[in-house]
Amino acid sequence: MLQKPAVLVVFLLGVSNAIAQNITYKVVTTALDNGDPLAMGVLIDDYKTPFPLTASADIPYIYTGYAPIAKSSYSYVRFNKNSWSLEEREAFSRDAVETDTVFEFYNRSQNTYSVPGLPQLYEPIDSMNRVKSDLHYNDRIPAIFLSGDISSFQTNSSKGVNAAVDVTYVGLDQAMTLKGAKIQLSGRGTRNLPKASYKIKFGEQDLLFGYKNIKLRSLITDPSYIREKMGFDLAESFGLPTTRYSFVRLFINNKPLGLFGLEEDFSNPWLANEFNNGVSQGFNQGILYNGAIRSNLQYLGESEAPYLEVKVKKFGDTAYSIKAKPTNGNADMKKLIAFTKFLKDAPSTEPDAAATWNSHVDTDSVLRSLALEVLLGDTDGYISSGDNYYIYEDPAHNGRFVYIMYDLDLTQGSASRSYVSQTLKGDYTKFLGYNEARPLLKQMLKVPEFKAKFESILRDFIRKQRDNQEFLYEHIDALASMIKEDVAWDKSISREHRETTVSQYLEEIVENGKDTNGKAAEPPVIDYSERVLRNDISFETAVNGNIDRITLMGLKQWYSEMIEAYSSFV
Ligand SMILES: *[C@@H]1O[C@H](CO)[C@@H](O)[C@H](O)[C@H]1NC(C)=O
Ligand SMILES: *[C@@H]1O[C@H](CO)[C@@H](O)[C@H](O)[C@H]1NC(C)=O
Ligand SMILES: *[C@@H]1O[C@H](CO)[C@@H](O)[C@H](O)[C@H]1NC(C)=O
């Protein structure tokens, strides 16, 4: 009995020594041209020459080949097909593996990272029934390769200019190409920045892990690269319905564009994915309104016109818009108007006030989201600017509205039009924008029960971080170590291919102090434009260090000062 295992071990060792067993190596990188004298290979242990890898027929960015299991290590290389000399090799060695590799990204030292994530602080709100999807991973960075003629929007940053592209997604264990997708620039202010954000809509029959529309966020306004990810991870931890967020590497026509944030766009079938477990068929979908520009939910009368007033002429953006139509009923502004009317005269201290509110809106979705805006120091949300939210009419809960926050880049010590100090008042009633017309917040906080709840959300979070810095810092550190190599890569990419007017836009503000309309730019706008144009703040400083600009602080520095500012409140 005792001898059997020993015999078995000897036998297995004997086998692997006798036959130099091969496995499949798979590496992901930009495609090599046919005329290129270079080829991809894998260099194993102390072999003098690489084993060649060949581009797969359907996805030219994936190179695979059989080669021996390494005794200690291997690395991927580019070599000259004719002379077999090494032209380039990865900056490190990979530890030997005994089975076929996953799709490993060239020159990235790890495939996965340990990113423990944040604790779930609140259960998902009642309406939520989110589909399981592989769109977002917390512990790895997939790659997206686009190919197609994108000159239409490289030279014209107007809204709605599309280009047709094929999209190849390569994760660690899956790869696919979705042909005939449409890409366009996304965002407003960021359209004019050297690194733009994009929106992709997949073709008629295509979905990427259940989603028809995705956004690729440029991250250029945030030298720490992780603010928006932190924001959405906290929204998830707060049990809020909104997009999840992850990182991807982006290439267009074989050229690197860098590290991007991947998020869901809220177009169909997003509502079915978020509220009906991904089932679109038979789903009784409510209307989804967007509040995007000076859309503070004030009652403006019964006529639709003022709700649909154009706020940004250049892009034709209206205050409110309809993002998704309802299955039943009309796609008009009536329900939004009725809601703003309810807010105007909403009950406050009446005994049934809370119940009445709860029949009109999921009050948890509002209280948690708005508390999170304060906790994130959101300079571009409902409280600060009356912007960047959706309200969804949920037929499964008698048509009450659910509040959905999004666009969390200008948060946690980063701003573009305001001073970050306005998020560090230590008193939420002095928070940026608080004293402007914000009926959703102000009216709700007149209800004693809601005010208590709102304040307890703020207190609990601040205490958590005050009593144990690691609560947030551990997550920040894990994300920072995962993206470190990609940030270095992102910063090394020349952005010259963007139209020259783009950098002129920033230069005009920085050098002449003039905004696009020719008026004198406000100090925060100048400061923000300058830091984006120069792009010279180190990643390490942005995450761990101190920065004292009017529109930017170090990420941890901001959290530490925010907690400190609220010390007498908790
Ligand atoms: C392993 O792969 C190499 C390179 O492709 C090949 O030359 C060799 O014959 C293979 N060995 C075995 C045992 O399959
Ligand atoms: C590999 O990455 C290192 C930094 O990690 C960088 O210095 C080097 O230029 C990269 N090499 C290639 C070939 O991409
Ligand atoms: C840019 O595209 C818009 C929308 O298609 C069009 O109206 C405009 O004329 C274009 N501008 C230039 C300079 O091509």
Do 158 and 75 reside in the same domain of the chain? no
Do 74 and 180 reside in the same domain of the chain? no
pLDDT at residue 501, as a whole number: 59
In a domain, 553, yes or no: no
Closest ligand (CA of 50): 1
Strands 163-170 and 143-147: antiparallel
Do 153 and 246 reside in the same domain of the chain? yes
Q: What confidence category does residue 34 fall into, taking pLDDT thresholds of 50, 70 and 90?
A: confident
**Per-residue DSSP letters for 111-145?**
S----------SPPPTT--PPP-SS--SS---EEE
Do 100 and 154 reside in the same domain of the chain? no
Question: Two tokens at 330?
Answer: 């009309």
Q: Whose CA is nearest to atom 4 of ligand 1?
A: 67
Quick check: 3 pLDDT over 80? no
In a domain, 32, yes or no: yes
Q: Whose CA is nearest to atom 7 of ligand 3?
A: 158
Give the containing element (helix H, strand E) for 95. Answer: strand 94-95
Instruction: Specify the pTM.
Output: 0.94
Give the list of residues 6+ apart from residue 98 with CB closer than 8 angstroms, or none.
23, 69
In a domain, 203, yes or no: yes
Domain end (from 264, 288, 308): 264
In a domain, 205, yes or no: yes
Do 245 and 167 reside in the same domain of the chain? yes
pLDDT tens sequence across 72-107? 999 999 999 999 999 999 999 999 999 999 999 999
Quick check: 19 pLDDT over 80? no
Contact present, 340 and 386 (Cβ < 8 Å): no
Quick check: 418 pLDDT over 80? yes
In a domain, 97, yes or no: yes
Measured distance CA(277)–CA(270) in Å, rounded: 10
Q: Give bridge partners of residue 166 from the DSSP assignment.
A: 147
Task: From 150, 152, 153, 158, give the residue whose CB has the most ligand 3 atoms within 8 Å, as the site to mutate.
Answer: 158
Give the containing element (helix H, strand E) for 89. Answer: strand 86-89
Do 151 and 260 reside in the same domain of the chain? yes
State if residue 52 touches ligand 1 by the CB under 6 angstroms criterion.
no
Domain count, the chain: 2
pLDDT tens sequence across 481-513? 999 999 999 999 988 766 555 667 888 899 999
Q: Whose CA is nearest to atom 7 of ligand 2?
A: 91
Phi, psi of 124 (to 5 degrees): -55, 145
pLDDT at residue 194, as a whole number: 85
Give the list of residues 6+ apart from residue 522 with CB closer than 8 angstroms, or none.
417, 515
Do 174 and 92 reside in the same domain of the chain? no
For residue 519, the number of C-alpha atoms closer than 13 Å in the C-beta half-sphere is 5
Do 95 and 153 reside in the same domain of the chain? no
Domain that holds residue 96: 20-105
Do 150 and 258 reside in the same domain of the chain? yes
In a domain, 521, yes or no: no
Give the containing element (helix H, strand E) for 63. Answer: strand 62-68
State if residue 107 touches ligand 2 by the CB under 6 angstroms criterion.
yes
Domain end (from 233, 264, 295): 264
Q: Which letter does DSSP use for residue 417 in this model?
A: S
Do 260 and 150 reside in the same domain of the chain? yes
CATH number at residue 75: 2.60.40.10
Do 246 and 162 reside in the same domain of the chain? yes
pLDDT at residue 2, as a whole number: 36
Q: Give bridge partners of residue 249 from the DSSP assignment.
A: 143, 259
Measured distance CA(320)–CA(156) in Å, rounded: 25
Provide mean pLDDT across the span 447-468: 98
Do 154 and 252 reside in the same domain of the chain? yes
pLDDT at residue 499, as a whole number: 58
pLDDT tens sequence across 514-566? 887 788 999 999 999 999 989 999 999 999 999 999 999 999 999 999 999 99
10 CA → ligand 1 middle, Å: 24
pLDDT tens sequence across 101-125? 999 999 999 999 999 999 999 999 9
Domain end (from 264, 293, 314): 264
Closest atom, ligand 3, to C-alpha of 161: 5
State if residue 7 touches ligand 1 by the CB under 6 angstroms criterion.
no
CA dihedral sign, ordered 141, 145, 151, 153? negative
Provide mean pLDDT across the span 263-282: 98
In a domain, 229, yes or no: yes
Measured distance CA(157)–CA(55) in Å, rounded: 35
In a domain, 541, yes or no: no
pLDDT at residue 498, as a whole number: 64
Q: Give bridge partners of residue 448 from the DSSP assignment.
A: none
